[in-house]
Amino acid sequence: MDLGENIKKSFVYPLCDYNKFAMIGVLSVFSVLYSVCSSFAGDNPGVIVISVLISSIFFVYLMGFSVSVIECGINLEEKIPDFKVGRDISNFFKYLALSIVYGIVPGIIIFITILGSGILKIFTDISPYIQYGNTDIPPDLLSSFMFAFLIILLVTVVVTVIQSIFTNLGVARMAANNSFSDGLDFFEVFNDIGKIGWFKTVGWFIVICVLNMVFFMISMGIMMIPYVGVILAAFFMMTFMKLFNSYSVGLLYSDAYKISKTQEDIKEIPKAENISERCDVLDEYEEISKNKKEDTIDSMYSEKDE
């Protein structure tokens, strides 16, 4: 599936079932209940505490529910999954654990970069100037600080992008195989990205980020509506974004899943038995590989044309 088809199907998907969209919208409103209550009862600590607890519960559920949406995308099912509390709560904790594990190495890299850049020492030297309101900071000290900051920023962005891609596809792999350990298999996730195509995966991530920025700006505009802005933004935009993003992840991973399943089918067919069936599976695998190459080539040429 090429990138354009992925985005197109993901746009249409949230509205494939208006009833479930509305139900998820209500859950989304409850997940931001804290924001609503802080606007109307910000001076009441009891209300704020209760609203935070309620928001957390619904947030947890919706995050777990998104894993089921990813699974629908992998299986190319154009339907919003049913609500199952036990399954979705369990998926949330699996999602959380995967995110933590995949965030360990990036966190270490960023920490080492901060220490290696010397920005902490530079900031210590600059602090006295800031503390006493002296704006006459030596140019070499200021330039050193900016250089170190840019290095940290660059490393953080690159590492975060890689971590986000691996986390999303790790969750997709977990959902596809219904196995938490499969989601943690870093090397298999790496191989899955190769099956999808690195160019296609990075391109997908960039497009998704740009679209989410647009969605976010629309949400901010809606939130400016007095009294009901937050509720409307949560009901419509938050629901749409959650379904759109999750389904798109599933569609992206579906390419790797097809190839993996076909490879498993090839291994399961004995060499000396049922030659015609083996040939059919091999033909299917070649067709999938051919389509993936054509998608990549089409994407490259479309970028050149632009």
User: For residue range 248-273, what is the model confidence (pLDDT) as tens digits?
Assistant: 999 999 988 777 666 555 565 554 45
Measured CA to CA, the distance from residue 292 to residue 192 in angstroms comes to 13
Within 34-82, strands assigned E span: none
pLDDT tens-place string over residues 94-129: 999 999 999 999 999 999 999 998 888 888 888 877
Mean pLDDT of 148-162: 94
Q: What is the pTM of this model?
A: 0.82
Residue 131 confidence (pLDDT): 73
pLDDT score at 211 = 96
Q: Residue 196 corresponds to which tokens in the numbers above?
A: 């999808």
Could you tell me which residue, 7 or 256, shows the higher pLDDT? 7
Which residues neighbour 8 within 8 Å (Cβ) at sequence distance 6 or greater? none
* C-alpha span between 193 and 187 (Å, rounded): 10
| Domains of the chain, residue spans | 3-305
pLDDT one-digit tens code per residue, 289-304: 556 555 544 554 454 4
Mean pLDDT of 219-225: 92
Q: Which two tokens stand for residue 255?
A: 């390419």
- How many separate helices (H) and strands (E) can be counted in the chain? 13, 0
**Residue 179 main-chain phi, psi, to 5 deg:** -145, 120
